[in-house]
Amino acid sequence: KHILIVPGDGIGQEVTAVGKKVLDKIAVKFGHTFTYDEALIGHVAIEATGNPLPDESLEKMRKSDAVLFGAVGHPKYDNDPSAKVRPEQGLLKMRKELGLYANLRPIKLFDELLEASSIKPEILKGADILFFRELTGDIYFGEKGRKNNGDTAYDIAEYSRYEVERIARKAFDAARTRRKKLCSVDKANVIETSRLWREVVQKVALEYPDVEVEHQFVDATAMLLIKDPRRFDVVVTANLFGDILTDEASQIAGSMGMLASASIGDGTGVYEPIHGSAHDITGMGVANPLASILSAALLLDISFNMKAESETVIKAVENVLKEGFRTRDIANAQTPADKILGTAAMG
Ligand X SMILES: CC(C)[C@H](C(=O)O)[C@@H](O)C(=O)O
Sites of contact with a second copy (CB under 8 A)? 73, 77-79, 81-82, 86, 88, 92, 118-120, 123, 139-140, 142, 144-146, 148, 151-162, 187-199, 202, 215, 218-220, 222-223, 225-228, 240-241, 243-248, 250-251, 256, 276
Provide the 3-class DSSP secondary structure of residue 162. Answer: helix
Q: Does 165 bind ligand X (CB under 6 A)?
A: no
Q: Does 119 bind ligand X (CB under 6 A)?
A: no
Q: Which is nearer to a second copy, 64 or 261 (CB)?
A: 261
Site size with ligand X, rule: CB under 6 A: 9
Q: Report the b/e string of 21-53 with b at 16+ CB within 10 A.
A: bbbeebbeeeeeebeeeebbbbbbbbeeeebbb
| CB-CB neighbours of 272 under 10 Å | 30
Provide the 3-class DSSP secondary structure of residue 234. Answer: strand
Given ligand X, a second copy, none, residue 336, with its beta carbon under 5 to 8 Å by kind, binds none
Q: Is the CB of residue 241 less than 8 Å from the CB of residue 278?
A: no
Question: Restricting to residues 214-233, which ones interact with ligand X according to CB under 6 A?
Answer: 219
Query: At 3, which helix (H) or strand (E)?
Result: strand 2-8
Comparing CA positions, the residue from 5, 20, 2, 6 lying closest to residue 343 is 20
Q: Does 189 bind ligand X (CB under 6 A)?
A: yes
Q: Does 12 bind ligand X (CB under 6 A)?
A: no
Ligand-binding site membership of 198 (annotated): no
Provide the 3-class DSSP secondary structure of residue 312. Answer: helix
The burial of 108, by beta-carbon neighbours within 10 Å (0-12 exposed, 13-18 middle, 19 or more buried), is given as middle
Given ligand X, a second copy, none, residue 338, with its beta carbon under 5 to 8 Å by kind, binds none
Ligand-binding site membership of 243 (annotated): yes
Comparing CA positions, the residue from 53, 131, 38 lying closest to residue 85 is 53
Q: Does 73 bind ligand X (CB under 6 A)?
A: yes
Minimum distance between the CB of residue 64 and a second copy, rounded to whole angstroms?
A: 26
Positions marked active-site: 140, 187, 219, 243, 247
Q: What residues are designated binding site?
A: 95, 105, 133, 219, 243, 247
Q: What residues are designated binding site for Mg(2+)?
A: 219, 243, 247
